[in-house]
Amino acid sequence: MSVASDTGRSNTREWALGPETEYRFELDSGTSLAIRVLKGHAEVFGAELADGKYYLFGHECKAAVFTWQGCTIEMRTPSTEYVSDETPMNAYANVHLALEKMRVRALSTHRGSPLPSGPEQDVDPEPPRVLVLGPENSGKTTVCKILTNYAVRAGQGWSPMYVNTNPSEGGWTVPGTVSAVPVTAPLGTASPANPLGSAATSAPSILSSNALLPLVYWYGHPEIKRNPLLMDRLIRILGENVTERLEGDSDGRASGVIVDTPSSFASSPSSTSTPDHRQTLIRACVDAFRINVILVVGHEKLNVEMKRTYGNRMTVVKIPKSGGVVELDVQYRQRIHAQQLHTYFYGQTIAPPRGLSASAIGDADFDGHLAPSSSVIPFGELTFLRIGEKSMAPSSALPIGATRTVNEMQPITLDPTSPGSGLLNAIIALLALPTHPEETERYDEEVLDLPVSGFLAITNMDLPNRKLTILSPSPGTFTGRTAVMGSFEWSEP
């Protein structure tokens, strides 16, 4: 049972939540919410809330506070809110237990310890490498977060590798990327601008104890159909790097891999002229991350299709979609992209709701302010590239017999002096330096395989003096570096 009561203090309310219920909320633009647990235990998408500590939510965050045994929570300035006792948490917890068993067996084998007894005694123990698929707004990212957070909280020292292959979601950096990171502490949910918590690259030092250093590749666009070939290549290169990293780390390997995917992997794009690349991209993920478990969130047809394609060599399980998942529309997603870009450069700041002072919050949550650096550099200091043509029809849409002069993966050097360069206000990815210096001059397709060391925004172009102004998270020199443009634009808020 859930009971709300007014505490008498302005804009403060208490909710008593019954066992296995969740308090769901949606924040309007410009509002924030502070929640603390007064009694019992509660969690947000698998991350436990410490007793008595205020947790701030902002930037149109939509989330839920779930409790297994019941609890009392207090909140300030609630907006859209309701309590539900119909959640899929039991099903998700069962999946977690099954994955946990796989981890324990994989680690025991590696350490040469006897395997825990059970019917799987004869099966070669492999850690869980999980691919999460589902249609738009099915809650895939939330499932990935819950499973990752439960693994981290299991007290076994697991550090599951979280892989984000959804370029529409910023993950730890900016939208337009694919990334991976071994997670060692529960992933928070304060703002959709940081859907997986903060990363070390842009997090202030006060958060660094919890900071993550993701491996990031730049795709450059929010939609997969823009350049599926590039996406395929990035997934494979990310997979190679993840596998390489885990080879030397047996405990990390036993923790397994959890891969979040874009919704376009689950449903064909509506345009009839666009070839259906989803099967190819699902296969790219399966191969790249050596997937052995596929979770399909609430989609019977996809579940059947996956069982038919992969059922003979791995576990394919359909899991229920939560009734709490919010339908996010295109405008919301665009606002969040802008917010994510802003957060990357300026940090995350959530103003506490009215009536709650900064000292009551008592930590960095409410002010993760960063100071980016703006510098003026000559045109020649950076080499600018774009991958493929600006607007490119898929190969299948070309007239029969026609071949294109520029392919989807060809890096094209951009001339900042040319009026159509599109560089003004572009978000650009600064590529990591090649490990072999003799490769610095290569602008062939291999440049695509370089990870990103950071992102920049071009805020001004001075054509007469051949200079541009660049916003970067921290001061630095860019001489001789290569930067790749995508389709994201910077706008000062």
Ligand X SMILES: Nc1ncnc2c1ncn2[C@@H]1O[C@H](COP(=O)(O)OP(=O)(O)OP(=O)(O)O)[C@@H](O)[C@H]1O
Which residues define the annotated binding site for ATP? 22, 62, 137-142
165 is a site residue for ligand X (CB under 6 A): no
Structure tokens at 445: 């397709």
Q: Least Å distance between CB 26 and ligand X?
A: 7
134 is a site residue for ligand X (CB under 6 A): yes
Query: Judged by CB under 6 A, which of 139, 170, 176, 368 binds ligand X?
Result: 139
| Residue (26 or 389) nearer to ligand X, CB | 26
Helix (H, G, I), strand (E, B) or coil at 121: helix
Which residues, in sequence order, are bridge partners of residue 378?
467
142 is a site residue for ligand X (CB under 6 A): yes
Query: Judged by CB under 6 A, which of 14, 20, 81, 136 binds ligand X?
Result: 136
By CB under 6 A, the residues from 257 to 276 that bind ligand X are 262-263
Count of residues in the chain: 493
Among candidates 345, 346, 330, 368, which has minimal Cα distance to 428?
345
Among candidates 235, 90, 116, which has minimal Cα distance to 165?
235
Q: What is the DSSP string of 170-198?
A: -TTS-TTEEEEEE--SPPP-S-TTSTT--
201 is a site residue for ligand X (CB under 6 A): no
141 is a site residue for ligand X (CB under 6 A): yes
Which residues, in sequence order, are bridge partners of residue 448?
none
140 is a site residue for ligand X (CB under 6 A): yes
What is the pairing mode between strands 426-431 and 80-84? Answer: unpaired
- Phi-psi region for residue 184, left (φ > 0), alpha (ψ -120 to 50) or beta? alpha
282 is a site residue for ligand X (CB under 6 A): no
Query: Judged by CB under 6 A, which of 16, 24, 149, 414 binds ligand X?
Result: 24
| Residue (133 or 450) nearer to ligand X, CB | 133
Q: Least Å distance between CB 242 and ligand X?
A: 20
Q: Which residue is nearest to ligand X (CB)?
A: 324
Q: Least Å distance between CB 396 and ligand X?
A: 25
By CB under 6 A, the residues from 42 to 101 that bind ligand X are 62-64
Residue 180 to residues 163, 183, 239, 290, Cα–Cα distance (Å): 4, 9, 9, 15
Q: CB under 6 A: which stretch of 112-120, 268-276, 318-326, 372-380 binds ligand X?
A: 318-326
Query: Judged by CB under 6 A, which of 288, 325, 429, 452 binds ligand X?
Result: 325
Give the contacts of 85 (CB within 8 A, at least 6 positions apart). Answer: 2, 18, 20, 21
Q: Least Å distance between CB 195 and ligand X?
A: 7
Query: Judged by CB under 6 A, which of 7, 10, 79, 137 binds ligand X?
Result: 137
| Residue (83 or 284) nearer to ligand X, CB | 83
Q: CB under 6 A: which stretch of 139-147, 244-252, 306-314, 417-425 binds ligand X?
A: 139-147
What is the pairing mode between strands 315-319 and 293-297? Answer: parallel
How far is the C-alpha of 151 from the C-alpha of 167, rounded, in Å? Answer: 25
Burial 236-273 (b: 16+ CB within 10 A, else e): bbbbebbbeebeeeeebbbbbbbbbbbbbbbeebeeee
> Contacts with ligand X: how many residues (CB under 6 A)?
24
Which ranges constitute the DSSP H helices of 72-160?
89-111, 140-153
Which residues make up the interface to ligand X (CB under 6 A)?
22, 24, 62-64, 134, 136-142, 166, 168-169, 192, 262-263, 322, 324-326, 328
